[in-house]
Amino acid sequence: MIQVQLLFPASNLQHIKLENQTQLAEFFLLGFSEDPVLQPLIFGLFFSMYLITVSGNLLIILAILSNPQLHTPMYFFLANLSFSDICFISTTIPKMLVNIQTQSQAISYSGCITQMYLFIFFIGLEILLLTMMDYDRFVAICHPLHYTVIMNFQVCVKLVLVCLVIGVLNALMQSLLVLRLNFCTHLEIPHFFCELNQVVHRACSDTFLNDLMVYIAAVLLLVVPLSGILYSYSKIISCICPISSKQGKYKAFSTCASHLLTISLFYGTSIGVYLSASAAPSSTSTSAASVMYTVVTPMLNPFIYSLRNTDMKRALKRLLFPK
């Protein structure tokens, strides 16, 4: 015992221990199932969903850019939302598909932190863009005479830049807090990507500050925007109800119906995932539920905004079938 102390002082032992913890910090994404029979089915399903999401949102962007009639604030935010959806799904699905193809569950420490940073950034950007789109509809319906003044191009660009800055700061803060953690053992993540809570709960050091900042970010980026959205829609409904003609009511409501459907789908699934994670935080059912807002919602957005929108359908028809 004395020889060990002479050869390896306490400070050196602690340093070696921390180095080993960092070197061993390779995570394993358990995904949905380890059954080799189901792997081709899972790969085909998610590869198809990924292609539909990317192609659908890319068509929305191209249709908006190619049609001058769609160069309005509403479609400006929609184009940014579609681009965010492409990036959002690209942070998680490609790595999962590669792991299935190579029959490996491993993801490096740096790769996990990078994926987590990008996921936090794009989900925050998604929430903020949906909030900006709601504000646009609120101004258009409740203050139509001042709409062109309030929602001019410079204001729209500044609102998107604010969304980007807030998203970057939140993702950077959460990622830096994870970097300070030490990871010893139990590095298996019961998810198909490096989800923040799952990674934090694999640490063997104190995570109180991490949990606190997650709750603060959830309040600022989920509760506050959702409260603003509910308030704006209450004002929108109060403005639509006095309209005498049914056609006028339908036209006013149809302008925000697609956005309301997207909001309901995104928040409904994300809240459902949060509740299921609280009930069973280590269950793979949480990863299955997360598919709804990480994959299904970005995939359905192009259909929601195109099938219920005459101008968008006309622009897509011109893009796909030019005369």
pLDDT at 6: 40
Q: What is the pLDDT of residue 14?
A: 45
User: Dihedral sign, CA of 260, 265, 269, 270?
Assistant: negative
User: Looking at residue 274, what is its pLDDT?
Assistant: 66
Q: Alpha-carbon distance 115 to 320, whole Å?
A: 34
pLDDT by residue for the chain (323 residues), tens digit each?
444 444 444 444 444 444 444 444 589 998 887 788 889 999 999 999 999 999 999 999 999 999 999 999 999 999 999 999 999 999 999 999 999 999 889 999 999 999 999 999 999 999 999 999 999 999 998 998 999 999 999 999 999 999 999 999 999 999 999 999 988 776 888 889 999 988 998 888 899 999 999 999 988 988 899 999 999 999 988 888 887 777 767 776 777 788 888 888 888 877 766 666 555 554 556 777 788 889 989 999 888 888 777 888 888 888 888 86
**Parallel/antiparallel/unpaired status of strands 188-189 and 106-107:** unpaired
Q: Cα(128)–Cα(4) distance, rounded to whole angstroms?
A: 57
Can you tell me the distance from the alpha carbon of 240 to that of 229, in angstroms, rounded to the nearest whole number? 16
Burial 188-226 (b: 16+ CB within 10 A, else e): ebbbbbbbbbbbbebbeeebeebeebbeebeeebbeebb
Determine the pLDDT at residue 8. 40
pLDDT of residue 260: 84
* Among the listed residues 179, 178, 185, the one whose alpha carbon sits nearest the alpha carbon of residue 17: 185
CA-CA distance, 273 to 270, in Å (whole number)?
A: 5
Q: Name the pTM for this structure.
A: 0.88
Query: What confidence score (pLDDT) does residue 18 get?
Result: 43
CA distance 128 to 122: 10
Sort residue 293 into left (φ over 0), alpha (ψ -120 to 50) or beta: alpha
Residues in CB range of 301: below 8 A, 6 or more apart: 56, 57, 60, 81, 82, 85, 262
Instruction: Specify which residues 77 forms β-bridges with.
Output: none
- Domain residue spans of the chain: 25-320
Residue 2: its pLDDT value, please?
Answer: 40
Render the burial of 284-308: b for 16+ CB within 10 Å, e for the rest: bebbebbbbbbbbbbbbbbebbbee
Query: Which residue, 75, 72, 47, is CA-closest to 306?
Result: 75
Topology (CATH) of 25-320 = Rhopdopsin 7-helix transmembrane proteins (1.20.1070)
